[in-house]
């Protein structure tokens, strides 16, 4: 389990009003209506933090900063393999981590804040029918040209608002628990309540959902790993600053 410590020393607490003000200020992001106008700044708005600075014990295996993801390459916008979130979501994740540590487990995050440019890259990848390198691992039962129509790949993502995290459970010293499918497995088997997932894997999915749910995270039923903290700090925004520690250290 790869744990990214990041820089030591958590950022000072920021209120929601300061966070909202920062969204339209020096950071260069624009929070509009439901569509959310996207700019391309180098820094986040006030209110984002590196999760390692909130709780360094949370495991990080940031897949899109590596070639081990469904595109087969490092994804646009992932300058560093770090988890960034709006502070309220990061603090809720820390509370959940305290509970799972008492059980001998740890949270392991695969993705957190995601720039809009990365979302755009996913859509372009889905439209490239000639590239089937990762089919066996990530979408063996779905034709690639069906990934967008069937909702596995979307043109907008809640990850770009900063309160959504892709996460699993890992046993301390042993690695990720069996969840019935890998992360980013495009198949109905990955639906959280898939009746085909039973036994130990079902228990692990239920435990993850209960622990995160107690801290305000809501699961996306189509993906057992996908959780959004509510209320979101930036519910109407789409951000495009790069994933790096420097982005939250202004």
Residues annotated as catalytic (active site), given as ranges? 223
Tell me phi and psi for residue 115, to 5 degrees: -65, 150
Residue with tokens 């779905």: 142
C-alpha closest to that of 145 among 119, 126, 123, 130: 126
The angle, 0 to 180 degrees and rounded to 10, between the axes of the packed helices 199-213 and 87-102 is 130
**How far apart, in whole angstroms, are the C-alpha atoms of residue 125 and residue 72?**
10
Distance CA 238, CA 55 (A): 25
State the CB neighbour count (10 A cutoff) for residue 69: 23
């Amino acid at each position: 389990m790869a744990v990214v410590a990041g820089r030591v020393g958590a950022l000072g607490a920021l209120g929601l009003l300061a966070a909202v003000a920062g969204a339209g200020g020096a950071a260069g992001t624009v929070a509009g209506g439901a569509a959310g106008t996207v700019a391309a700044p180098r820094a986040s708005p006030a209110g984002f933090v590196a999760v390692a600075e909130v709780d360094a014990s949370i495991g990080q295996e940031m897949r899109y900063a590596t070639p081990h993801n469904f595109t087969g390459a490092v994804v646009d916008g992932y300058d560093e393999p770090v988890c960034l979130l709006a502070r309220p979501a990061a603090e809720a994740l820390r509370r959940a981590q305290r509970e799972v540590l008492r059980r001998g487990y740890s949270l392991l995050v695969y993705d957190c804040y995601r720039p809009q440019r990365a979302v755009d890259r996913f859509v372009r990848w889905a439209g490239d029918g000639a590239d089937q390198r990762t089919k066996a691992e990530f979408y063996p039962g779905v034709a690639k040209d069906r990934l967008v129509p069937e909702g596995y790949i979307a043109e907008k993502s809640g990850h770009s608002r900063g309160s959504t995290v892709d996460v699993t459970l890992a046993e301390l010293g042993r690695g990720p628990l069996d969840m019935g499918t890998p992360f980013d497995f495009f198949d109905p088997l990955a639906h959280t309540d898939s009746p085909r997932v039973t036994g130990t894997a079902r228990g692990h999915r239920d435990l993850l959902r209960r622990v995160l749910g107690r801290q305000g995270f809501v699961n996306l039923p189509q993906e057992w790993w996908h959780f959004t903290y509510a209320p979101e700090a930036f519910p109407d925004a789409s951000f495009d600053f790069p994933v790096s520690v420097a982005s939250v250290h202004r």
